[in-house]
Each structure stands twice: as structure tokens, then as C-alpha cells.
Amino acid sequence: MKPSLLILAAGMGSRYGGLKQVDSVGPGGEAIIEYSIYDAIRAGFGKVVFVIRRDIEQAFREQIGGKFEDKIQVEYVFQDMDYPVPGIDEFPEREKPWGTAHAMLVAENAIQEPFAVINADDYYGVEGFATCADFLTRDCRPDHHCMVGYVINNTLSDHGTVNRGVAAMDEDHYLTEVNERLKIQRKDGTISYLGEDDKRYPLKEDDLVSMNFWGFHPAIFGVIRSQFVEFVNANRDNPKAEFFIPLFVDNQINAGEARYKVLVSNDRWYGVTYREDKPIVQEAFGELVAEGRYPAPLWS
């Protein structure tokens, strides 16, 4: 059975200032998300599932989904804040979505096979999809998942700071924890992050970070569901609390319930965290097309 690709596309794009999931960056007007799907198809993925908001459904289907429905199975699910979860009789009132792990959970009825999870607005490159697809096909088990790690030096923005989950690993390249580092920047040849004490601390250029590219066995949905119930009950009075993927991953690792293999990708990450990033990303895709890595237009 071919693995599936779950794409988290329900974000608000607050820092970017618009619906960046469908913003064009390729020579033929392609969005970043289209290159991820193209790479996933040639890596052997058999289905793509989009997690979106209901208010962007029409625009998403018109501008994205219709381009490749003849090449891969496409499904849509919605990140409703009151998505029914056994064990939660009533959700607390809030405006902010419940986070990336909750976005995964709403797709549980659409996925029964090993699957990868990515963000809609990040470009991950060919290598990550190839290595993840191989893992999902050969090595994925209910207690054996993966994270695609990117070299931090390949993931920074020239137009502002970024937040990254820095991976800590054992000697066999299994994840031991993901440390969220805030306001990472490169300045005077040094990469650093801002600590809770408002002091800057260095990071190594070859540190691996999470770009929210994970590979899971479908048994993970039961794990997420159980932990989400606990999270909601513990955070009923915190309207800003979010249930992120690294949270349940860390819980599993600490409890010895699962192992996460870190797969290294040396590809350059591209994203439009800030609107000023867009011209750089457009230029990068123009170069990738000129090098023959992608056709233009992408879908023909």
C-alpha cells in the first residue's frame, strides 16, 4: 500500500499577511504546496489529504486541488475546533485553533496507511520525500516512526527571526527530544537563539531541526486522541494553549512507547515566513526549473 501525505494547510498566515498556502511562487504561477505534491508523487505517495479551514475551501479547490486530481487521490478534511473526540463532552470557548497535533487528528478517518505530515507553506525538497517514502514503505511500525531533519543553516530567513525545533539524537540517530528554540537568526556568521532570560545562545550550523516533516504509522491517531483529551482537560482555562506534534512525540519518547528515526535531508528549505521572503523563493524556483529539477509549467 502506498503511503499518504497529510498537508497542514489551515494556518492563518498572520506573519505573512495573506493566504500564503495558495500564493504563487513558481515560474508558471505554482504555489509552494504544488512542488511538495509533485515531489511526493514521484517518491511514490498514493494519496494527499489536505487539512484546511472551511472558509478557504472554495479558493483552495479552485487554485490548488484541481491541478493534480488526475495524478493522485485527493481528500479534504477540516480543522473544526469542536471536532468530536470521545472523552470530551464539551469544548471550552476559544478562537485559536488547537494546534498541529489536533490538525492531524481531524484526518484520522481519511488515513489508514503509513503517512507523512508536512506544512503547506514550506518547500522540503526531493530528498526528504524520497527518504520518508522509503521509511514508510519498509520500516514504519506502530512504535517506529520518523522525523525528517534539516540542517539549520539551510532553514533560516534573511528577513527576520524564525522558531525551530532543534533535534537531540542518540548515537543511532533516534530522536531523544525536540527543543523549541525561539527567534533564531544568523548574525556576523553565528547562528543563535533567544533564551528565556533574553540572552542569545549559539547553535551549530549543522544542527538538525524539525520543519514539521514527520512519518507515522496510522496507529498514532489513537495516541494523539488519548493525549489530546488530557491536554484539553488540563488547559480549559488557557485559550492560547496549543497541542503541537512535538508534544505528543516527546511524551511517547519519554514513556518509552515509540522510537523516532531522524532522517537527514541536505536540501535547502524555502518558505515564505515573511512577505519579504517571496522574491527570494521565486528566484529559487526559477533556478530549480532552469536546472531541470522541475518542469515549467509543473502540471502538463
Average pLDDT over residues 14-28: 64
Per the structure, the count of domains in the chain is 1
- DSSP code of residue 193: E
Q: How many CB atoms lie within 10 A of CB 155?
A: 20
Closest CA to 46 of 24, 86, 22, 73: 73
Spatial separation of the C-alpha atoms in residues 298 and 78, rounded to whole Å: 27
One-letter identity of residue 8: L
- Residue 98: left if φ>0, alpha if ψ -120 to 50, beta else—which one? alpha
CB 65 within 8 A of CB 74: yes
Strands 175-187 and 73-78: unpaired
pLDDT, tens only, 267-300: 999 887 777 888 889 999 999 999 999 999 999 8
pLDDT, tens only, 150-167: 999 999 988 889 889 899
User: Does 249 reside within a domain?
Assistant: yes
Average pLDDT over residues 193-214: 94
Q: Is 38 exposed, middle or buried (0-12, 13-18, 19+ CB in 10 A)?
A: buried
User: Does 299 reside within a domain?
Assistant: no
Q: Which domain holds residue 226?
A: 4-290
User: Does 295 reside within a domain?
Assistant: no
Query: Of 37-41, 143-147, 204-208, which range is least confident?
Result: 204-208
pLDDT, tens only, 93-131: 888 889 999 999 999 999 999 999 999 989 999 999 999
Closest CA to 135 of 43, 233, 15, 42: 43
What CATH number is given to the structural domain containing 53?
Answer: 3.90.550.10
User: Does 211 reside within a domain?
Assistant: yes
DSSP 102-137: HHHHTTTTT--S-EEEEETTEE--HHHHHHHHHHHH
Closest CA to 228 of 53, 75, 77, 91: 91
User: Does 298 reside within a domain?
Assistant: no
Average pLDDT over residues 203-228: 96
Note the pLDDT of residue 180: 85
User: Does 70 reside within a domain?
Assistant: yes
Percentage, residues of the chain above pLDDT 90:
67
Closest CA to 105 of 236, 235, 244: 244
User: Does 173 reside within a domain?
Assistant: yes
Q: What is the pTM of this model?
A: 0.92
User: Does 72 reside within a domain?
Assistant: yes
Note the pLDDT of residue 15: 42
What is the pLDDT confidence band of residue 21, given thresholds at 50, 70 and 90? low
